[in-house]
Amino acid sequence: MTAGTPGTATTAGLVCAHHHLYSALARGMPAPPRTPTDFPEILELVWWRLDRALDLDLVRWSALLGALEALERGTTTIIDHHSSPLAIDGSLSVIAEACAAVGVRVLCCYEVTDRNGPDGARAGLAENERFLRAGGRGFVGAHACFTLSDATLEAVAGLAADLGVGVHIHVAEDACDTAAGARLDGVARPDWLLAHCVHLDRPLPGTIAHNARSNMNNAVGYARPARFANRVTLGTDGIGGDVLEEFRVAYARLREDDVTATPELPWTWLLAGSELVPEAAADRVTWAHPTADPWHLAYTPGVRPLEVVIDGRTVLSDGRPTLVDPDEIRAGAAQAARRLWSRM
């Protein structure tokens, strides 16, 4: 099968502009002690219990499975936002190595936060600095303004400026973080990556990563990303690595808000990922579908790639990864998931 085969269409590589690979083993985990009733409780009762149970081996299996699932859906680049408060040091290298093994490009960051005390914040800053100074690719990560003191936010912004990279941060995802606009005004820079911006009350410089499905799942409201002049990209926020599916959901959500909207707009959001990571534009994904027209794809679920070429190397052929055994990764990840749940 080669590009140009009848019944196929070829596009650039897709970019997931906001992912949490560490959530890949969450599916099937034990229910929280009680049902969360709002976004802060979802964080406290679900995600902050999960991330505290991660060790480096579990981080590795999460990243292998997440990278595999992205590749199998034509996503050639993952912009990851990582948290493992009891296994911080070295975690970004573990993720980068796992993605390299699968053949998927990754931009890493560690989410700095004050929710685990001052030592946790310092260790998070140090992991970003260690990884980036060693030549790793990514951002300086920060959780969200509502878990960051002014001093820590200043340290995050300062480190990113020193290293010549942007900050990847959750911004006003829920009404609990509406102060983010005021706190980041004058601090955010054009190279920052702003995830969500659902309740953002003012324009900020940077790229917006829109995560329509996650926002619905957490009942935080509709972000209306088109209200800002910023570049908009699409992320899964950890719900798999299928950005083409995320395009469909973003279109459905946009359309629910404005019945005159057309899929061309969310299609520009999908393609804008390669403005953040220009090599993705040279990646080649050949789809088992005769056209890559947004009107077709918006109404055609399940379109999958047959071949994926990243940095000139064929990493998916006839729908199968070429560098790794997907069955081995799934079996190892299933075992790792059981170990993770027992630690929670």
Of 233-241, 265-273, 316-324, 330-338, the window that binds Zn ion (rule: CB under 5 A) is: 233-241
Residue 51 or 307 having the CB closest to Zn ion: 51
Residue 174 or 237 having the CB closest to Zn ion: 237
Of 63-71, 131-139, 229-237, 311-319, the window that binds Zn ion (rule: CB under 5 A) is: 229-237
Residue 243 or 303 having the CB closest to Zn ion: 243
Of 44-52, 232-240, 259-267, 303-311, the window that binds Zn ion (rule: CB under 5 A) is: 232-240
Residue 177 or 237 having the CB closest to Zn ion: 237
Which residue's CB comes closest to Zn ion? 237
Residues in 234-293 at the binding interface with Zn ion, rule: CB under 5 A: 237
111 binds Zn ion (CB under 5 A): no
**Whats the size of the chain, residue-wise?**
344
| Closest distance to Zn ion from the beta carbon of 16 (Å) | 11
Residue 51 or 237 having the CB closest to Zn ion: 237
Residues at the contact surface with Zn ion, assessed by CB under 5 A: 237
